[in-house]
Amino acid sequence: MSLTLNEIENIITQTEGLIANKNFLKVLHSDTNLILDPSFKIRLSKWLQFFNDRNQVNYYIYSNTIYVLFDACNTNKLFRNQTEHEFEQSLHFYDKIIRHAYLKKPLHFNHAKQILGLAIIYGKYGSMQINSFNNALESIKTEISENTLHEFFKILFINGEYPKLFPINLTQVNESELDLLMQSIASKKNLIDKPISYTLNSQVKAVKYFFERMDIDMLDDILSDEHTYKDVDKKTFLDELSKVFNEFINDGDTHLMAFEGACNSCIKGKFGYTFVGNVSHNHLSMIFDIKDDKIVDLYDCVEFKNNIGNLVLNKKLYINLFNF
């Protein structure tokens, strides 16, 4: 169902009439209007209409959930990139929980954000549900918190242990990281047996891809000979990187898993990945220095912060250029 501009404005006006802090909503709406294309404004309006129609059913969660929806427009690519089916599944998720007595209590913004994250996961992976919503909702009977919402997720999806590598709050997860999590849940051993595949439509993606596969030969082909990497020529850099890959392999890893993040010290904010062994959970954090969609430098990082949050990791590995 499409919506006209007038219908969209009417939904926004209705939302302003129901929300607790109208001025805050106006600021969020103004910021969001600057970044949304018309098709997504329609999608956001459908989200708002869904909660407006159910405001009387559960007004406790209404305002912070609306704020979270606008926040997700600016910060959550998974939310913005949902297919129509995933969107409908996420609405189904809320329909299953919104009327429950355990949710009829004041809801903190961060917990509303976590519930939206669960709805997005359900939208994409609802077919992996193994327990009823009623069973899962028992986890929030006494309180709604980060830990109880994590228990909700575990009861809904997991038959066994939660994969140790991943943090319990998944509000910052991106699509590839979510695929890794759900693939590990589907595995009997909670291990990622096969690396995630994706389209290699840029040099940056290709370098990430062959890092994950620990393929030195392909990295040699893809990386330019014109640049130095960690202040040495490409051959020297790859020879030392190969030794790090061998450490992963000797500890049982068949491939690496990439988690986005950035330097948190010397060049704070510089983009890169933490590459984690799929069995050992040993890790190597790499900065990707990118100009015009090309990698001009690669170097490991001592103080690295992952977007997803604090991962449960083992030994930190480094590219040692002082022993050759």
Q: Considering Cα of 263, then 173, then 15, then 100, what sign does the dihedral take?
A: negative
Are 55 and 149 found together in one domain?
A: yes
Tell me the per-residue pLDDT of 236-265, one tens digit each, with 9 for 90 and over.
999 999 999 999 999 999 999 999 999 988
Please identify, among 124, 159, 194, the residue that sits at the C-terminal boundary of a domain: 159
Contact predicate 203/221, CB 8 Å: no
Are 139 and 218 found together in one domain?
A: no
Are 148 and 209 found together in one domain?
A: no
Are 43 and 124 found together in one domain?
A: yes
83: CB partners within 8 A, 6+ apart: none
Q: What's the order of all strands across the beta sheet hosting 294-300?
A: 294-300, 283-291, 271-277, 256-263, 304-306
Are 14 and 144 found together in one domain?
A: yes
Range of the domain at 231: 203-306
Contact predicate 117/166, CB 8 Å: no
Q: Is residue 181 part of a domain?
A: no
Average of per-residue pLDDT across 99-104: 93
Q: Which two tokens stand for residue 283?
A: 């890790």
Q: Is residue 75 part of a domain?
A: yes
- pLDDT of 2 higher than 90: no
Distance from C-alpha of 25 to C-alpha of 19, rounded to nearest angstrom: 8
Between the alpha carbon of residue 296 and those of residues 216, 225, 240, the distances in Å are 17, 10, 18
Are 84 and 151 found together in one domain?
A: yes
Q: Is residue 29 part of a domain?
A: yes
Contact predicate 62/14, CB 8 Å: no
Q: Is residue 180 part of a domain?
A: no
The pLDDT value given to residue 322: 67
Tell me the per-residue pLDDT of 128-166, one tens digit each, with 9 for 90 and over.
999 999 999 999 999 999 999 999 999 999 988 898 889
Are 118 and 264 found together in one domain?
A: no
Q: Is residue 45 part of a domain?
A: yes
Q: Is residue 300 part of a domain?
A: yes
Of the listed ranges 155-159, 172-176, 278-282, 311-315, the least confidently predicted one is 172-176
Q: Is residue 154 part of a domain?
A: yes
Of the listed ranges 27-31, 232-236, 299-303, the least confidently predicted one is 27-31
User: Which comes out higher in pLDDT, residue 275 or 169?
Assistant: 275
Q: Which residue has the tokens 């991106």?
A: 174
- For the chain, the domain total comes to 2
The pLDDT value given to residue 36: 65
pTM for this model (two decimals):
0.86
Are 141 and 242 found together in one domain?
A: no
109: CB partners within 8 A, 6+ apart: 64, 67, 68
Q: Is residue 112 part of a domain?
A: yes
The pLDDT value given to residue 324: 44
Q: Which residue has the tokens 């790499």?
A: 286
Please identify, among 127, 159, 191, the residue that sits at the C-terminal boundary of a domain: 159
Q: Which two tokens stand for residue 307?
A: 């977007």
Q: Which residue has the tokens 């129509």?
A: 84
Burial of 301 (0-12, 13-18, 19+ CB in 10 A): buried
Provide the residue type at 103 as one letter.
L
Are 114 and 228 found together in one domain?
A: no
Phi, psi (degrees; rounded to nearest 5) at 298: -135, 135
